[in-house]
Chain A
Amino acid sequence: MKRVSILNRKNALTLFLVIVIYAVIQGLIVTDILPPLYTSTLIQVCIYVILAASLNLINGITGQFSIGHAGFMAIGAYFAGIVSVKFHGPLFLALLAGGIVAAVAGFIVGLPTLRLRGDYLAIATLGLGQIVMIIFQNMDYFGGAAGMQVGRHVNWSWAFWGTIISLVVIHNFVNSTHGRACISVRENEIAAEAMGVNTTKYKVLAFTLGAFFAGVAGGIYSNYMYFIQPTTFNFLTSFNILVMVVLGGLGSMTGSILGALIMTVLNVALSGIPSLRMVITALLLIIMMLFRPSGLMGTKEFNLNFLEKKEERTVA
């Protein structure tokens, strides 16, 4: 019989790799070898990895087509900013507050809108993103259209470990009976309901959890960027996150990470030729959709499972 436990070679190796990646980059930053532009790019990658992974939970895993993710990011960014600036709260609390307010917003919005299907849900969530942006634009408490000064509290360590924690939580949720319930909603809603899955509950749960992490990512963003403006969180940002998820493969967590990494690095790398940037990005996407319409990873995951098989073989 197969034993499941948290202490296996796969998890140990994953943890080891994560620590190595962190330590190497942290070392390069501390010794000033890594130019600030690279550090800033890496932190942006972290932020977009969280955003893409959390949108993947809604769009890819649960199959609810949402394109208002920047709205939740904005809510998280502003509320985390308020906690940092107006209450001088610790960063951890700021990020948590941003996440929780975004999750509450996700829950309230999710309850009525998740009754809608397909393109109707897409339109509703698109509208939501715009509404959030306009609300922040018109509230003086949040600085209105001029924006809000937040300051820099986030460094590489915060961004990196924040991303890792977010990914672990989302991964653990997806790889459980509750995650399978979400996937069953995507696969066949009628059958899922007939098999005893409360589909409304799991749609709202996935939406709320996704909104929470979008809020956390927004909090990291505002506490890193010194300054935030409502227009930063417009529908182009939402689309950008969606593109990362689709590029990586809807339903694949590692795909979302890959998509976020590629798109963010590409954006920075092409910033020297702004006139061609959008053209090249668009071309890449078209080629991608022609040759690999299900995304780089499809619904598959990159994992270290091959190590486990080896282990089993040596035992047998």
Chain B
Amino acid sequence: MLKIESLSKSFGGLKAVSNLNIDIKDGELIGLIGPNGAGKTTVFNLITGVYEPTEGEILFRERKIGGLKPYQVTHRGIARTFQNIRLFADLTVIDNVKIAYHQHAKYSSLGAILRLPSYFKGEAEMENKALELLKVFHLEGKAKEAAKNLPYGEQRRLEIARALAAEPKLLLLDEPAAGMNPQETHELMELIRWIRDTFKLTILLIEHDMSLVMGVCERIYVLDYGTIIAQGGPDEIKSNPKVIEAYLGEEAI
């Protein structure tokens, strides 16, 4: 599904990511963890085309995607959420979702201007798809509300719903549980697993909340100073001395 080969990214003299190798198989649920400033979000930005890699290759379903523009990466089948929520705040909940469906729209601007039958068919289809998706996330009752008026937890859910509307094969979640209480985090865990199984997705997530990462991820990569220092199942990671050192410091061992 996703193969990252000796990927590096430098900002001036700073190497944010160096010689990174990640291999994700179809249908896996992978966690990417690491201390603050380890370069996790940079990895996401490299995968999604926000940054261009300095060195190395990113292969998605056997095709190179390094250097593509973000919208092209999304068209290939990768969608993401953001660490700091980036919804279309003033738009309605349903419009947020519809915009992500845009790339699958089946009518042209001319069709819209002339109000051809394709417009009405396409709009009805989008409306239904968007409503279905909102139902999954228990947001259908708030479809007409402005996204900014939703409570924080619902905004997070809406961001995931919006990413799914792009109909990705690979979903990247950047700290989906940030700012959630334990109860909400637990529900989110269930939701992530459910999404993976229902939509037949591969998921890569960045998270600080260890209970979520350990509870939901099948395999975990640990990033520190831009390099992978460990990988494996949750139990292996928990007992890995390098990981404990990275998180707690040398003296703790």
Contacts and interface: CB of A to CB of B under 8 A. Distances in A.
B71 A199 contact: yes
B59 interface: no
B99 A197 contact: yes
Contacts of A194: 48, 50, 70-71, 74, 79-80, 82, 86
A191 B82 contact: yes
B71 A188 contact: no
Interface in B42-84: 48, 50, 69-71, 74-75, 79-80, 82
Given A4-B124, A187-B88, A172 B115 contact: yes
Contacts of B154: none
A113 interface: no
Interface string A297-312: 0010000000000000
Contacts of A290: none
A254 to B, nearest CB: 17
A173 B114 CA distance: 9
B120 A4 contact: yes
Contacts of B98: 177, 180
B113 A177 contact: no
B79 A183 contact: no
B62 to A, nearest CB: 21
A27 to B, nearest CB: 30
B101 interface: yes
Nearest to B86: A191
Given A177-B126, A190-B86, A191-B87, A184 B74 contact: no
Contacts of B25: none
Nearest to A181: B102
A177 B71 contact: no
Which of B70, B90, B100 has its CB near the most chain A CB atoms (within 10 A)? Answer: B70
A173 B120 contact: no
Nearest to A184: B99
A177 B124 contact: no
Which DSSP category, helix, strand, loop or mixed, fits chain A's interface?
helix
Contacts of A35: none
A193 B123 contact: no
B102 A6 contact: no
Interface in A163-217: 169, 172-173, 175-181, 183-184, 187-188, 190-199, 205
Contacts of A173: 109, 112-113
Interface of A: 1-6, 169, 172-173, 175-181, 183-184, 187-188, 190-199, 205, 299
Given A175-B112, A183-B91, A194-B80, 7 more contacts: A178-B112, A183-B95, A187-B89, A191-B82, A196-B79, A197-B102, A205-B109
29 contacts: A1-B128, A173-B109, A173-B112, A173-B113, A175-B112, A177-B99, A177-B105, A177-B107, A177-B126, A179-B112, A183-B91, A183-B95, A187-B88, A187-B89, A188-B86, A190-B50, A190-B86, A191-B87, A192-B99, A193-B71, A193-B74, A194-B71, A194-B74, A194-B86, A195-B71, A195-B100, A195-B102, A195-B166, A196-B71
